[in-house]
Amino acid sequence: MTTRGTATEGLTVGPVTVSADALTWRFSRSSGPGGQHVNTSDTRVSLSLDVAACTSLGRTRRQRALERLHGRLVDGVLTVTVQTHRSQARNRVEARERMAALLEEATAPPARERRATRPSRASRQRRLDAKKRRSAVKRSRSRPPMD
Own/partner long-range contacts of 101-104 (Cβ < 8 Å, ≥24 apart):
102/69, 102/72, 102/78, 103/11, 103/13, 103/18, 103/49, 103/57, 103/65, 103/78, 104/13, 104/14
Q: How many CB atoms lie within 10 A of CB 23?
A: 23
Q: Calculate mean pLDDT across residues 37-62.
A: 83
Taking only the tens place, the pLDDT of each residue in 68-127 is: 888 888 998 989 999 888 888 899 899 999 998 998 888 888 889 999 999 999 999 999
Domains of the chain in start order, with CATH, are 2-107 (3.30.160.20)
Separation between Cα atoms, residue 68 and residue 50, nearest integer Å: 15
